[in-house]
Chains A and B, each alone.
Chain A
């Protein structure tokens, strides 16, 4: 292999392309031969060759990068395999799974954190998405520009550069967000009370979730003892375990554009006649929203909920950028994928990491299965 990394990459890529083309011809010819043996017509033989020829990259990739890894990781999840040690892997049976599900505090923390994001974060994110969608659904000029502006955060979303900008904005002392909160609080009294109540409620909820995690509710007692936040209090975004998850929620709300587009599609699908009829009957805009639009949007809400849940299981970048090396905070925000990364690539415990992968896989599989079962009612895939 050449030393220069770029030439090395180009050479390997070329090899891979040749390998893939060879696979295309190989698989296509094999399929044509089988078709010939089965006595298919000449046209059918040609089509069989072409079909397997063009589909070969995916078929081969599926075997190399999905089936084989999944099989191996299933096997390793029952062993104590470590990539660094020279000893062969020992079969340990269900030990990894038992440890993971029953004794592992960090894994439990990741489950509870996901629960927090699902129960607190997702409704806020979906509420924002729905609100923006309803506002954009008024069919006015320049709607496209607003739609673009609201979708842009999804594109930038989890780029580490943008996350670092959030880190700067969320600084507790000198960050722009807290400065604005301070400034507005000093100027407008009702806002100050709203801010303090929001801080109080948020801290109680998070302290409760952190309590669920450890089984001890010390932090919750502390929050209650401290009482209603003082007049000059600001959120401690990336500084306190009480606020670390809320910062991620803030990022989720910012990136609500994808959900908003789904809601917009849903709103467009509501027949106009329904709204017109209700308007004739004298229903107000508010009533029409809750009695017509909202019930008809429930499938879309459910779809967003499921997708959002799966995504929150997989959050990695924000936690890596905002809280990496920040020991007191990591356990209060850790997601399942972050934990998987930590176990497998900081500690190189491949066996244990494989067990985590399989648990994530099963959870996501169950969630997707529920979604596919229920979405029969509203989604039509025109497959064939």
Chain B
């Protein structure tokens, strides 16, 4: 009997972990299932795991919904622009902190790390007034432009650590060959940190795509709403009946890009979360 003990515990462990996985991904399943139901089915008192008759009406409706499609485009537009600038500026700043020796580097680096302690929300009030003075309320500018100034100390730290691990000899030989710093940054260092760049890009993408507070504050009109803001307007507490199939269809279409991106980059992400900041 004792011989079989490891096998039995192994099987039990797999059963438990599979059960936990099912529970953890249940909201996703329920989201998809509800999007294919009729309104009556979403409010029915019995459990309908998978609708007997799959109804695509909600999908057809949402693709014809101008506001939804526009907010989808807005999200893609703003995330693309904001991500490009943030990623490039973070890469430049990380280069300065890892590959160049300059007076004042340690002080500036310490200052940058200390901004980790400032919650971004503590800055939203004065920033709002500042953007108001610039007449930027009701435009995409306040949610795009700050990223171009290397927003995100944690991301800089992550990328800097990766760049610092590249051997110094590489730059030196490039210098001898007559390359300047910009060429070394773009042609020597950047290709060597592709994996950390992918990690940072994913974190940035998830952050921008999910962001609710700042778009909510600055966008103001339906024409400019990004997906997270638009979706909250679909759910109105004053309605007695919520259009759940429509809401869940919009939800499925919003989560799909997140899942795709996570699926392709999870290898880097899972490792970097475990090492960042914590070394035992």
Q: Spell out A's residues near B (CB within 8 Å).
A: 1, 5-6, 8-10, 12-13, 16-17, 20, 31, 35, 46-48, 50-55, 57-62, 64-66, 68-70, 72-73, 76, 83, 132, 135-136, 138, 140, 144-153, 155-162, 164-169, 173-174, 176, 179-180, 183, 254, 258, 261-262, 264-266, 268-269, 300, 303, 310, 313-314, 316-317, 320-321, 324-326, 337, 340-341, 344-345, 350, 353-354, 357-358, 360-361, 364-365, 368-369, 378-384
CB distance from A114 to the nearest CB of B (A): 13
Not counting A54-B185, A135-B16, A160-B254, a sample of 20 additional A-B residue pairs whose C-beta atoms are within 8 angstroms of each other reads A9-B78, A9-B139, A51-B96, A51-B100, A54-B92, A57-B93, A61-B148, A73-B125, A136-B17, A140-B13, A144-B270, A148-B270, A156-B258, A156-B259, A161-B31, A168-B242, A266-B278, A350-B128, A361-B119, A383-B109
Q: B43 contacts the other chain (Cβ, under 8 Å)? A: yes
Q: Spell out B's residues near A (CB within 8 Å).
A: 10, 13-14, 16-17, 20-21, 24-25, 27-28, 30-31, 34, 42-47, 77-78, 81, 85, 89, 92-93, 95-97, 100-106, 108-109, 111-112, 115-119, 121-130, 132, 135-136, 139-141, 144-146, 148-151, 156, 161, 181, 185, 206, 209-210, 212-213, 216-217, 223-224, 227-229, 231-232, 234-235, 237-238, 242, 244, 247-248, 250-252, 254-255, 258-259, 262, 266, 269-270, 273-275, 277-280
| Contact yes or no, A65 B149, CB < 8 A | yes
In the complex, the chain A residue whose C-beta lies closest to that of B238 is A325
| Contact yes or no, B213 A161, CB < 8 A | no
Main secondary structure of the interface of A (DSSP, over half): helix
Tell me the bound Cα distance from A166 to B247 in angstroms: 12
| Contact yes or no, A155 B129, CB < 8 A | no
| Contact yes or no, A368 B117, CB < 8 A | yes
| Contact yes or no, A66 B118, CB < 8 A | yes
- The residues of A that contact B21 with a CB separation of less than 8 Å are 145-146, 149-150
Q: Which of A54, A164, A174 has the most CB of B within 10 A?
A: A54
Knowing A54-B181, A55-B93, A164-B247 are in contact, say whether A357-B122 is a contact too (CB < 8 A).
Answer: yes
In the complex, the chain B residue whose C-beta lies closest to that of A255 is B24
In the complex, the chain B residue whose C-beta lies closest to that of A372 is B117
- The residues of A that contact B149 with a CB separation of less than 8 Å are 20, 57-58, 60-62, 64-65
| Contact yes or no, A161 B251, CB < 8 A | yes
- The residues of B that contact A165 with a CB separation of less than 8 Å are 27-28, 30-31, 34, 248, 251
| Contact yes or no, B25 A149, CB < 8 A | yes
- The residues of A that contact B43 with a CB separation of less than 8 Å are 174
CB distance from B162 to the nearest CB of A (A): 12
